[in-house]
């Protein structure tokens, strides 16, 4: 399920962070963690070009929701991927995942709509889920605005964004709207539990530790009881039948590994088409390492996700 040691280039990143004395998120205040993530995952100085990029604000359940629309070159209407960024529901934002969204736009030849959902702890669960669900409905209902095809709308995200994508897929199924064609869950957070074997991995070989996950969950939930809600912990849903087909990406050196593996297994048992792509020598957050020419796995993973999306959109 994992290699003996992380990929050499990933290991170099871990060593650099250790030598630089970069603290763990769980040791910081909310503001401190947000500043650190923004520094560590700053958008590239020379972003990958796409056909066009637009920032607009849509009406949400508690005010405006900022979204960024990435459009590929070509003729509309395009399929659409509604994307939720990572950051443990507390950190991150549209700018932090700009590189990933640009790469997916070009590789999948689809519009990517990145959602600037509300953050905890100021806006705890279920606010981020509500915003992402609202944005997904808006894309389907206003597909012309994004030059998209309302019959080919997928939802996806990385880490906490993967959690939100999985939750939105469940909400859409339970509410019978909107019709979600596909879900892409990259190293997703899926359960309010910290007792799987992957949580016992050596912290020195991890980007995100058990303490970090406990920290983000503590800020996301107002009550431990909320952790039982399947819209917070998608793995706790009693029934996964009727959910859209999925791609799930997991990494060997990730405390969230076993949650992703189990969700892929349960989707398969529920007769949901699922493609599980596992990278045994990579770490949480590797998808954002697109600028490292030596870590080709990041670009390869983007290509694999894009291929899955294209196959779904053409089905």
Q: Whole-angstrom Cα distance, residue 194 to residue 184?
A: 23
User: Considering all CA atoms of the chain, what is the largest pairwise distance in Å, rounded to the nearest integer?
Assistant: 51
Burial code (b: 16+ CB inside 10 Å, e: under 16) for 77-106 equals ebbbbbbbbbbbbbbbbbebbbbbbbbbbb
For residues 156 and 149, the answer to whether their CB atoms sit within 8 Å is no
Sign, CA dihedral 309-313-314-315, equals positive
Query: Could you tell me which residues come within 8 angstroms of residue 44 by beta carbon, excluding any fewer than 6 positions away?
Result: 98, 99, 290, 291
Which of 198, 203, 164, 199 shows the shortest CA–CA distance to 184? 164
Which residues carry out catalysis?
159, 254, 284
Backbone angles phi, psi at 114, to 5 degrees: -90, 130
For residues 224 and 286, the answer to whether their CB atoms sit within 8 Å is no
């Amino acid at each position: 399920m994992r290699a003996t040691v992380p990929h050499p280039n990933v290991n170099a990143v871990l060593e650099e962070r250790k030598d630089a004395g970069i603290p763990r998120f769980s040791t910081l205040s909310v503001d401190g963690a947000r500043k650190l993530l923004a520094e560590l995952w700053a958008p590239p100085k020379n972003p990958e070009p796409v056909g066009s990029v637009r920032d607009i604000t849509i009406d949400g359940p508690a005010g405006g929701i900022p979204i960024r629309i990435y459009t590929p070159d070509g003729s509309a209407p395009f399929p659409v991927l509604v994307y939720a960024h990572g950051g443990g529901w507390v950190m991150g934002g549209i700018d932090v995942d700009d590189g990933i969204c640009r790469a997916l736009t070009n590789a999948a030849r689809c519009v990517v709509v990145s959602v600037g959902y509300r953050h905890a702890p100021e806006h705890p669960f279920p606010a981020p889920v509500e915003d992402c669900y609202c944005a997904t409905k808006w894309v389907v209902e206003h597909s012309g605005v994004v030059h998209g095809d309302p019959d080919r709308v997928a939802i996806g995200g990385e880490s906490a964004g993967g959690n939100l994508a999985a939750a939105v897929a469940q909400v859409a199924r339970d509410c019978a709207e909107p019709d979600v064609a596909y879900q892409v869950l990259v190293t997703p957070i899926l359960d309010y539990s910290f007792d799987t074997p992957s949580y016992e991995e050596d912290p020195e070989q991890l980007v995100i530790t058990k303490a970090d996950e406990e920290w983000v969950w503590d800020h996301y939930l107002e009550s431990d009881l909320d952790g039982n809600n399947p819209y917070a912990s998608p793995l706790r849903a009693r029934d996964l039948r009727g959910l859209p087909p999925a791609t799930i990406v997991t990494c060997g050196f990730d405390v969230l590994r076993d949650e992703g593996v189990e969700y892929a297994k349960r989707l398969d048992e529920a007769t949901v088409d699922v493609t599980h792509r596992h990278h045994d020598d990579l770490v949480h957050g590797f998808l954002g390492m697109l600028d490292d020419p030596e870590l080709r796995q990041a670009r390869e993973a983007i290509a694999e996700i894009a291929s899955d999306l294209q196959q779904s959109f053409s089905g």
